[in-house]
Amino acid sequence: MTIKKVALIVLSCGIFAGMCHGGESVVKGQALARHKTENVILVMIDGMRWQEVFHGADAELLGTPGPDALGDAKERARQAQQRYWNQSESKRRHLLMPFLWSAVANGGQIFGDRDLGSDSHVTNGLNFSYPGYSETLTGIADPRIHSNDNITNPNLTVFEWLNTKPDFKGRVAAFGAWEVFNGIFAKERCGFLVNAGYDPLTVIPSTPQLQLLNTLKEETVRIWPDEPFDPVPFYTAIEYVKAKKPRVLFLGLGETDDWAHAGSYPEYLNAAHLADSYLQKLWDLVQSMPEYRDKTTLIVLPDHGRGAGAKWTSHGQDIPESQQTWMAFLGPDTAHLGERSQSAQLTESEIAATLAALLGEDYLMAVPTAGAPIKDVLGK
């Protein structure tokens, strides 16, 4: 037998063995090679309706200025009309969320416009915050999660699950306006940084910006006792990204829901517009950093929807429309299909496995009852 034949047999045996026994690593390696995503940022905008996302400001609701608690509600309504109204629906939604309808619409995918046959929704049946966040982050709608009480989540979030893996240990972090994120992420158990509500951030070296943020958390008037205004968690997260460069990041913004419950449509629109500007600032930041540039996927969605018409201020089990949500994806593995129409029905329970799959991890192996990854955003 010639040396060439021996080499050929050895090579063939090695390939065959790789396909059978050790083949898991080979096949897995091939699957991972198709994914350019090395980092995922998940941003959730509390109670942001799909109607405004796809249609822009509502003409009828613009005429309902809401309470005078903030001073001169009519003037606020006039300003909102000036900022966000246009006869053209496409221009209207772009005025409200310019980053979503430029960068994401051109370079990613957006789901949830029911008028185009695209649907996404929560499956928990309760249609409020803790169940919505938990479903999104764990992949399951757990009937034990039936209130907004700040209790420790009995389920592992995909963030906690990833943090148990060597490639992600210490590279996971969550920031949120709402203090109940401490319970949702199981702060006392999860093993990664959870910074929520008015808690100061002290685990990284102090900077003038971080010192100011911590001071604002301590001294600012607390309109809502369980969460500050959105700039506080956003800029706190920015300081952490600069210092620690996490591979998996969560950011929860809350003002859209707060102002809606308060009945102030102008401030609800302002909060949505601000959230969109934060998406752009965050995206611009990570695209400027070699650790993230062209290898980061951004996922954006709410935790629930809201009612229609006069019920726009509310959500819950008695308002079926508030199960309706929307989703947006931008990253190197997601095909540039823009606003989706006639797409497969999506659920928030599919986000956890999708996030893991983008990072080359199989969440369904750990949580078989979780929603499956969304194939449309994972590339070929």
Do 146 and 20 belong together in one domain? no
Percent of the chain exceeding pLDDT 90 equals 87
Do 28 and 55 belong together in one domain? no
CATH of the domain at 177: 3.40.720.10
How many Å separate Cα 183 from the centre of its chain?
A: 18
CA distance linking residue 352 with residue 224, whole number of Å: 29
Q: What range does the domain containing 1 cover? A: 1-33
pLDDT beyond 80 at 254: yes
Do 26 and 61 belong together in one domain? no
- This prediction has a pTM of 0.91
Do 373 and 351 belong together in one domain? yes
SS3 88: coil
pLDDT score for 324: 98
In Å, how far are 9, 90, 118, 201, 294 from 101, measured between CA atoms? 56, 9, 17, 33, 20
CA distance linking residue 270 with residue 255, whole number of Å: 9
pLDDT score for 70: 78
Residue that is written with structure tokens 């009480």 in the block = 149
Q: Which residues pair with 39 in a beta bridge?
A: 296
Q: How many domains does the chain have?
A: 2
Mean pLDDT of 319-326: 98
Percent of the chain exceeding pLDDT 70 equals 91
pLDDT beyond 70 at 316: yes
pLDDT score for 6: 35
Mean pLDDT of 285-306: 98
pLDDT beyond 70 at 243: yes
Do 25 and 9 belong together in one domain? yes
How many Å separate Cα 259 from the centre of its chain?
A: 20
Mean pLDDT of 331-345: 97
Do 172 and 200 belong together in one domain? yes
Do 262 and 284 belong together in one domain? yes
Q: Residue 18's pLDDT band (boundaries 50, 70, 90)?
A: very low
Mean pLDDT of 210-226: 97
How do residues 123-142 score in pLDDT, each as one tens digit?
999 999 999 999 999 999 99
The answer to whether residues 57 and 267 touch, using CB atoms and an 8 Å cutoff, is: no
Closest to 73 measured CA to CA, from 280, 310, 267, 314 = 267
pLDDT score for 380: 64
pLDDT beyond 80 at 17: no
Do 67 and 211 belong together in one domain? yes
How do residues 29-86 score in pLDDT, each as one tens digit?
333 336 899 999 999 999 999 999 999 999 999 988 788 777 888 899 999 999 999 9
Contacts of 7 (CB under 8 A, 6+ apart): none
Do 198 and 318 belong together in one domain? yes
Tokens of 139: 């992949």
CA distance linking residue 303 with residue 45, whole number of Å: 7
pLDDT beyond 60 at 225: yes
Q: How far apart are the first and last CA of the chain?
A: 43
Torsion of CA 311, 315, 316, 319, to 10 degrees: 30
2-6, 19-23, 118-122, 145-149, range with the lowest pLDDT = 19-23
Do 23 and 132 belong together in one domain? no
CA distance linking residue 329 with residue 299, whole number of Å: 5
pLDDT score for 15: 32
CA distance linking residue 355 with residue 329, whole number of Å: 10
pLDDT score for 66: 81
CA distance linking residue 348 with residue 352, whole number of Å: 8
Do 46 and 17 belong together in one domain? no
Provide the total of helices (H) and of strands (E) in the chain, helices listed first. Answer: 17, 11
| Mean pLDDT taken over the chain | 91
Do 184 and 293 belong together in one domain? yes
**Identity of the amino acid at 272:** A
